[in-house]
Amino acid sequence: MASILIAESGSTKTDWCLIGATQKPKFVKTSGINPYLQTSFEINALLSHELNLKKHKPEQVFFYGAGAGSTEKQKELKTILRSFFGTRKVEVHSDMVAAARGLCGKEKGVVAILGTGSNSCFYDGKAIKSKTASLGYVAGDEGSGNHMGKRILRYYAYNTFDEDLRVAFEQLFGNDISAILNHIYKQPFPNRYLAGFVRLLVENRGHYMIENIIEDSLNEFFHHHILKYRESWKHPISFTGSVAYEFRDVIAAICEQSELTLGTIERSPLKGLIRFHSK
């Protein structure tokens, strides 16, 4: 088997797995790679500083990432990866293709990503056949960490939280609104920063305000995306991403209420991608 390097990248982190070069798969983590948010120079610098695979040169590279859906950005990333790894056999696909292949393999299904951002598609077992529009972290991202983070910040800043949640927020993130706004409007990756507020939800499950934020955000995602696919009533719906995995109980409840068949929920599609590329 040829040595294959698989990368599954979101806006926050990238999971790398080298198979075929050693007896056991070699796993490495780096920061997220998104060509819409980073320049070629920044991506090269990230690879040089964070990806330590010098002993094992891959013969093939399969990169799946957020921001890698357009032909232009795929070409840009191919050039960077070919130069960095010294191999011509490089494929670049969107994170949506990663989710579809990793969760469904060669079976049909509706697939959703709920992590820092959000996205969805219908996959026919070979290719993505349809998808709803993705408006990104400013105008869209329903159901994502970024989307939930905005709600959390509004609840805190507008004094909607009760005393317990106000104190919990300040213990985690401080009480300096000016500093928070500086992170959002002046610092890189505001979507990552906002998604970090989801920690408050995770640590305070059971509080009615917390459950409302989670349920409202996920219901918006289902309403604007999942329920727009006719195939949602014909095939299983599978999810990947940290938010999907953390709040899988709420997703299961919404599927049951909507009479939809829930497929699998995985934190990452990487294990499925390893199976996909090992066959």
> Long-range contacts for 134-137 (Cβ within 8 Å, ≥24 apart)?
137/11, 137/190, 137/191, 137/194
CA distance readout (Å), 116 to 159, 205, 224: 25, 19, 18
Residue 22 domain-assigned (yes or no)? yes
158 occurs within a structural domain: no
Global pTM value: 0.86
- Answer yes or no: is 116 within a domain: no
3-state secondary structure of 183: helix
Residue 112 lies in a domain: no
Range of the domain at 10: 4-98+271-278
> What pLDDT, in 10s, does the model give residues 115-171?
988 999 999 999 999 998 877 778 778 999 999 999 999 999 999 999 999 999 999
CATH number at residue 75: 3.30.420.40
pLDDT at position 140: 74
The answer to whether residue 86 sits within a structural domain is: yes
The predicted structure's pLDDT at residue 279: 72
pLDDT < 70 positions in the chain:
1, 21-22, 54
Give the strand pairing for 109-114 and 237-240.
parallel
Domain for residue 208, yes or no?
no
- In-domain check, residue 167: no
